[in-house]
Structure 1
Amino acid sequence: MEFQEYKYRWVILLLYCLAEAMNAMVWITCSSITSVISKTYNVSTFAVALCSLVYMIAYIPLVFPSNYILDTYGLKAGTIIGIGITTLGAWFHVGAYDNFWSILVGSILGGIGQPFLLNAPAKLAAFWFRPNTRAIATTIGSVSNPIGIAIGFGLPGIIVTSSKSKEEIGNLMLVEACLSTAVCISCIIFFKSKPKTPPSNSADMKREEFLPSMKQLLKNKNFIMLFIFFAMGQGALNAFATLLDQISKPYGFSSSDNSLFGALVIIFGLIGSGIAGGIVAVTQRYRISCLVIAFGSLGGIVAFLAVLPLESTLWSAIFASVLGLLLMPILPVSFEFVCEVTFPIGEAMSGGFLNWGGQIVGIAEVGLSYLLSNQAIIVGIICSSGILLGGLCMVFVKQDLRRTNNDKVHNLNNELHYEGLVSMLSGELTH
């Protein structure tokens, strides 16, 4: 079979990125204005944090049906379900003009839609892109979540300017609902599951069934170690995003400051992800890259929390940028690496389990932080301990690039077959 790469792949990638960004925006939109929402609706800060926590909680049971739908019915079915439920949740958020509980219900719906989108980047890259561009496509797809988080951090700071205003919070939610609706309609019209012709041999191979895949994953030592590494890093990132307002408020930082810090984490995280994605695309040094991410982000999160008592917006902004630069690349690098070490298991299955671990750890770290008073030092100890454990696990992971090796063997066989045909035809012509 002759493999082919279509220009339409960029349309598919763009639509996916927009859908995932909308879901992430709906998730995190309350975090930077936790104090404002708490005062406006007379609810506890923990009730506001639940709007973020329900995303992590919903993911845990829904990872299994969402993976099944993505692997069985395709990317289009999963993407439309994900953005459709997210959009419904965004319109429930518009009830913020009246009460807080509609915001919570909307967040629950967004959490239900999340796994259908969050598990898809590596699968999309595998089905639409050639091996030499898969890592770049996965990087772009996976950073759409942080882009959505940046929007979710940034918009509240622009629209919600007073300390107590249901109208402004309602306006914020209305803007987000309209954006999500536009993306949902675009996905329904233009999104496709896969091209007519696959871009590589591995894309054309039949993936393992659901239950056999689960058994293989649990027996794969590389996957187990990578799972712990990712869960600790992603869990720390989720906990940090959820608790940012609470841990910085005692040092005099405003909601606008928190929006700035959150946006800087994401912006520089995108830069770091682009650099890391480019490096692994060229060198395929996944293991070394993961080790750098682990121990670099460990220093980054400790440094950020250490400068908060200085009550300096400048220094806090600088180290928020450093944290994002070092921690965010865990997303694209891990998603590509796990597809390599678990091939031929479906990309949605392996990537979905990584996200599953990240959500569980995020819930645990947020819950533990609340139990221990949410002080910056407590959050720092919890998150940095997890990242350290993940880095130590990565030491034991082997660079087993099964998917890449499969494509190389297939390409070599094709070249040998072609050379054999040329040699045979040349021999016949000379006679």
Structure 2
Amino acid sequence: MSATDVALQPLDKYGKAIDEVEEAAEPILLRVYKRRWIVLIAVALLNNTNTMSWISYAPSGNYVNSFYGDGSAAWLSVIYMLCTIPVGVFAMWAGGEWGLRTAVLIAGWANGIGAVIRVISSLDFMPQEYRFATCLTGQAIAAVAYPFIMFLPTKVAGSWFPDTQRAIATTVGVMSNPLGVLMANLISPRIVQAPEHVIWLNVFTCVPSLVAMALATFGVNRSVPKIPPTISASKPQMDFVSGMKSCFSSKQYIILLIVMGGGIGMFNCLYTVMMELLCPSGYSNTFSGICAALMIIGGVFGAAASGIFVDRTKLYEQTLKLSLTVAVAFGVIFLQLTLHQGQSVLIAIMCLLFGVLGLASYPVGLELASECTFPVSEATSTGLIVLSGQIQSVIYVFIMKKFARALQPEFMSVQVCQLTPDDTTNIPKDNSMSILIFSALAGLLVLVLLAFFKPVYKRLEAERGNRATADKAKELAKEDHVTLQTDSVVQPLQSE
């Protein structure tokens, strides 16, 4: 008995020989670097210090107004939103064209320089008439960093981390933002207990900003690793213009753009006006800071849990819808409670629960943006959502200010907004109409998300498809020969 090896040629669906399987069998080299954590820490620290600088004036707004001038606390917060809108488009383009490292450097230096100018604005030699303009200039320069920073977590997660760590990496990057809010709300009221204490607040935000600038300069030396961590990271991404067209041609992404932008905008608005919501009902600056802190503390745990959960289950859509819906319910209850006196415990509980669910949706939503638009650059898909959030932040702050009415006389003895009885700078307001409009818009956003958002996970599908092709190629490679037993089937001809 003899045997013959016959090589098998792969066939397409029409039975014709093809060579693609051999090409698909080519191994794709993947590697995960320890340096990814340094890059992530640099981005997280930038995010944290920049946001802390942004929000630090709001919890002590009445003292800030007395130091810099009437209405200065609100303007020092709103300038961030106003600067982000024109800078945002450029930041998205630069992040894709110039790479992650350049974006980190721009963010780091703008953040550091802005912090130094704020300190200068509060020094004794600065004339009173120039203080506010100088501080506002520092805030505007630091605000330039914000759009560069906000798209970086998803960019770092997609370029440096494996798919089993992407959501948690995004969570660490984006949650450093509300942690900055937490630090500002806890520390600012304790540092600033008189107008002349504002200088110490500026020093407090300046030192970590300079540390973040140094880490961005010397710790991040590459935009992407030499060898990619995932198959999707090895694929070329769309250029900026093509990416923008792709984003705006996706119905699901547009829904996410509106809803996530609205969520960011509303959260930013609450940061900005927290003291103004609570002080008319007799709640102190310290309590306002505690409420904001509880939101963030709850959000840290909620976002960490949601990040780990979606990394393991990939249930992005379900997690986003559930967390955002319940968060809005708690948020509406919180807003209604701010109109009543003596509800400290319930207000604190609602803040905590709102934070747990509200911030749990944030990193999940940003990851969904990357999934819905792949292979669009994360700088573009995330940047548009951040830009939408800033635009809507301005709208919601305007609504809260525009529809606030004069406080009823019977509440004037309860309010703690004014520093003295004759204080005309910090006028308490009745926010009931503003809260009603705010709550209605929040409910509308949730309804749009639940009814119309049906995403397709393009990035995950691409990675699964590549894995399936590679596995198929390996199977065929093992079975590319069969053996025929020649003398068991073919009989020799008999000679006459």
Would you say the 8 A contact 2:115–2:206 is kept in 1? yes
Would you say the 8 A contact 1:67–1:116 is kept in 2? yes
Is residue 300 from structure 1 mapped to residue 356 from structure 2 by the alignment? no
User: CA separation in 2, counterparts of 1:289 and 1:376?
Assistant: 32
Which is richer in helix? 1
Q: Paired residue for 1:40, among 67, 72, 92?
A: 67
Percent identity between the two aligned chains: 26
Name the structure 2 match of 1:57: 82
- Given the superposition, is the C-alpha separation of residues 276 and 379 from structure 1 closer, same or farther in structure 2, using an over 3 Å criterion? farther
Is residue 236 from structure 1 mapped to residue 266 from structure 2 by the alignment? yes
Letter in 1 for 2:456: D
User: CA separation in 2, counterparts of 1:97 and 1:245?
Assistant: 26
Q: Please, what is the CA RMSD of the aligned residues?
A: 1.8
Letter in 2 for 1:403: R
Letter in 2 for 1:177: C
For the residue of structure 2 that corresponds to 1:100, the secondary structure is: helix
User: CA separation in 2, counterparts of 1:235 and 1:384?
Assistant: 13
1:145-202 Cα deviation digits (max 9, x unpaired): 1111112222212322x2x332x21012112111110111111111131111001111
Is residue 122 from structure 1 mapped to residue 122 from structure 2 by the alignment? no
User: CA separation in 2, counterparts of 1:303 and 1:82?
Assistant: 37
Is residue 371 from structure 1 mapped to residue 402 from structure 2 by the alignment? yes
Q: Please state how far the C-alpha of 1:383 moved relative to its aligned partner.
A: 2.8
1:85-133 Cα deviation digits (max 9, x unpaired): 0111111111223433332222111111111101111111000111121
User: CA separation in 2, counterparts of 1:85 and 1:213?
Assistant: 27
Q: Paired residue for 2:179, among 136, 147, 150?
A: 147
1:358-381 Cα deviation digits (max 9, x unpaired): 111110110121111264423422
Q: Paired residue for 2:276, among 238, 243, 246?
A: 246
- 327-336 vs 99-108, which moves further: 99-108
User: CA separation in 1, counterparts of 2:468 and 2:456?
Assistant: 19
Name the structure 2 match of 1:102: 134
1:276-313 Cα deviation digits (max 9, x unpaired): 22222222222222222332122111221222213343
User: CA separation in 2, counterparts of 1:375 and 1:9?
Assistant: 49
Structure 1 segment 63-102 matched on structure 2, within 5 A: 63-94=88-119, 95-98=121-124, 99-102=131-134
User: CA separation in 2, counterparts of 1:330 and 1:39?
Assistant: 37
1:218-238 Cα deviation digits (max 9, x unpaired): 111001111111122111101
Would you say the 8 A contact 1:341–1:401 is kept in 2? yes
Would you say the 8 A contact 2:275–2:285 is kept in 1? yes
For the residue of structure 1 that corresponds to 2:452, the secondary structure is: coil
Would you say the 8 A contact 1:233–1:386 is kept in 2? no
Residue-pair matches, total:
423
For the residue of structure 2 that corresponds to 1:131, the secondary structure is: coil
The runs of 5 or more residues in structure 1 that have no matched partner are none
Q: Paired residue for 1:343, among 361, 364, 374?
A: 374
Q: Please state how far the C-alpha of 1:401 moved relative to its aligned partner.
A: 0.4
Would you say the 8 A contact 1:35–1:245 is kept in 2? no
- Given the superposition, is the C-alpha separation of residues 30 and 290 from structure 1 closer, same or farther in structure 2, using an over 3 Å criterion? same
For the residue of structure 2 that corresponds to 1:329, the secondary structure is: helix
User: CA separation in 2, counterparts of 1:27 and 1:427?
Assistant: 70
The runs of 5 or more residues in structure 2 that have no matched partner are 1-27, 125-130, 405-428, 484-496
Q: Paired residue for 2:218, among 189, 192, 196?
A: 189
- Given the superposition, is the C-alpha separation of residues 376 and 302 from structure 1 closer, same or farther in structure 2, using an over 3 Å criterion? farther
Would you say the 8 A contact 1:90–1:177 is kept in 2? yes
Letter in 1 for 2:150: L
User: CA separation in 2, counterparts of 1:386 and 1:279?
Assistant: 29
Name the structure 1 match of 2:14: none
User: CA separation in 1, counterparts of 2:457 and 2:207?
Assistant: 43
| Bigger Rg, which one | 2
Letter in 2 for 1:165: P
- Given the superposition, is the C-alpha separation of residues 202 and 375 from structure 1 closer, same or farther in structure 2, using an over 3 Å criterion? farther
Name the structure 2 match of 1:408: 464
Would you say the 8 A contact 2:55–2:272 is kept in 1? yes
- Given the superposition, is the C-alpha separation of residues 64 and 401 from structure 1 closer, same or farther in structure 2, using an over 3 Å criterion? same
1:374-431 Cα deviation digits (max 9, x unpaired): 644234223322222221221211130000000011111222222333334x869xxx
Name the structure 1 match of 2:352: 321
Is residue 178 from structure 1 mapped to residue 207 from structure 2 by the alignment? yes
Name the structure 1 match of 2:195: 165
Would you say the 8 A contact 2:327–2:357 is kept in 1? yes
Name the structure 1 match of 2:33: 6
Q: Paired residue for 2:144, among 100, 107, 112?
A: 112
TM-score, scaled relative to structure 2: 0.82
Is residue 331 from structure 1 mapped to residue 343 from structure 2 by the alignment? no
User: CA separation in 1, counterparts of 2:437 and 2:379?
Assistant: 29
User: CA separation in 2, counterparts of 1:136 and 1:200?
Assistant: 16
User: CA separation in 2, counterparts of 1:8 and 1:240?
Assistant: 36
Would you say the 8 A contact 1:286–1:399 is kept in 2? no
User: CA separation in 2, counterparts of 1:80 and 1:199?
Assistant: 23
- 263-272 vs 292-301, which moves further: 292-301
